[in-house]
Each structure stands twice: as C-alpha cells, then as structure tokens.
C-alpha cells in the first residue's frame, strides 16, 4: 500500500507522487480518475478495487513548477554518484566547493560537486587553478523537467515514462 503513484493534472501534466492509499481514496472520492492499473487489485468483503499506478485529477490544480532543492542527495544524484575529479563511483562521497567558501565561494548549484574523500582532501581549500584539479563536468543547476524530478521512481515504474516525457 506504500507504492508510489504518479498524479497527473487535468491536462496530463505530472504534478506529484503520492501513496497508493491516498490515490485509492482520491479515486473513491471521485476527485481523481484511474489512468493506469499496473499493480493488481485490493479486495474488500463485497468489492474489488484496482491498485493504481497513475491517476489524473478531475479538477485543474494551478501550482508553480517544482524546483530541485539544493541538498547533498540531489548533488550526488545530479553527478550520478560519481566523483567529479577522478570519475570513481562510490557510496562514500563528499561535497566539494569548486571555489572554496573561505575564498568567497557560495553554496550554489554552479559551485558544488560530488567528490570522493581522497580527491576532496587533495584539493583542500584551493581553487581548481591552484590545485590543478578541475571537475569533469561543469557544475550547473539540474533540469526542472518531469523526467528528472520524478525519474528516481522510474526503475520500479517503467510504465510512467510515457507520462513524464515532454514535460
């Protein structure tokens, strides 16, 4: 009952991810329509209800486009859990400021990268020019596309891809 369910606006724009329990309640209250049932059914004493994978709201919801917040987890996700100096994939990543904070570098998307502890220690509090260590990819803000925002659930919900592409 805790599987993620993709919530679409009336115009089929993906706007949120909710739990199966909440999605069933929205469908039963006629606030949403079942679009895709890829998970089977749930049975009560007298009825059978489909377990939704994608639902569509019956009323249009106006909300600003969600943005990706600057967190450690999102920095690692943007950098594909790879050290941006040596290219090693590891679970023991740290955050490195390309221009160190002590030299005026700010904690912004275009100044932070994932780094393994060894590379972070070698670079220390130096700029890339001083250390000779440059990030493999220029750091930038991740896209606000639906495929990026909700893509972390795609490995277990491949049927969502058609709804996420193009937004």
**Residue whose token pair is 């490995």:** 155
Token pair recorded at residue 112: 């932070």
Domain residues for the domain of 117 are: 72-131
**pLDDT score of 7 more than 80:** yes
158 pLDDT more than 80: no
Pairing of strands 32-36, 14-19: unpaired
pLDDT at 154: 66
Is there a single domain that holds both residue 80 and residue 127? yes
d(CA 121, CA 32) in angstroms, rounded, equals 52
Average pLDDT (57-86) is 90
Domain membership of residue 138 (yes or no) is no
Model pLDDT, residue 66? 76
Q: Would you state the structure tokens that stand for residue 39, as one six-digit string? A: 């998970």
The reported pLDDT for the residue numbered 37 is: 80
- pLDDT band per the 50, 70, 90 thresholds, residue 26: very high
Identify whether residues 99 and 151 lie together within a single domain. Answer: no
Tell whether the model's pLDDT for residue 166 goes beyond 70: no
* pLDDT tier at 4, thresholds 50, 70, 90: confident
Average pLDDT over residues 157-166: 71
Question: Same domain for 19 and 43?
Answer: yes
The pLDDT of residue 146: 73
Question: Pick from 75, 146, 58, 145: which is nearest to 110 by CA?
Answer: 75
146 or 41: whose pLDDT is higher?
41
Q: Is residue 159 part of a domain?
A: yes
Residue 85 has pLDDT above 90, yes or no: yes
Stronger pLDDT, 167 or 164, i.e. the higher one: 164
Average pLDDT, the chain: 87
Whichever domain contains 88, its CATH number is 1.10.30.50
Q: DSSP characters for 62-84?
A: --PPP-----HHHHHHHTTTB-T
Q: Do 56 and 109 share a domain, yes or no?
A: no
Report the predicted TM-score, pTM, of the whole model to 2 decimal places. Answer: 0.73
Separation of alpha carbons 117 and 96, rounded Å: 9
Pair (79, 98) in one structural domain: yes
Over pLDDT 90: what percentage of the chain? 43
139 occurs within a structural domain: no
What are the phi and psi torsion angles at 36 (to 5°)?
-140, 125
Instruction: Quote the pLDDT of residue 152.
Output: 73
Domain count, the chain: 2
């Amino acid at each position: 009952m805790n599987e993620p369910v993709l919530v679409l606006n009336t115009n089929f724009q993906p706007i949120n991810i909710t739990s199966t329990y909440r999605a069933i309640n929205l469908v039963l209250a006629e606030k949403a329509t079942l679009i895709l049932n890829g998970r089977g059914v749930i049975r009560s004493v007298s009825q059978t209800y489909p377990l939704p994978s994608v639902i569509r709201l019956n009323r249009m919801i106006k909300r600003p486009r969600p943005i990706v917040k600057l967190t450690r987890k999102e920095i690692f996700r943007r950098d594909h859990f790879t050290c941006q100096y040596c290219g090693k994939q590891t679970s023991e990543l740290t955050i490195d400021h390309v221009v160190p904070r002590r030299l005026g570098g700010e904690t912004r998307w275009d100044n932070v990268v994932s780094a393994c502890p060894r590379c972070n220690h070698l670079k220390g509090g130096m700029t890339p020019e001083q250390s000779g260590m440059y990030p493999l990819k220029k750091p930038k803000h991740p896209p606000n596309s639906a495929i990026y925002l909700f893509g972390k659930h795609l490995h277990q919900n491949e049927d969502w891809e058609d709804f996420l592409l193009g937004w």
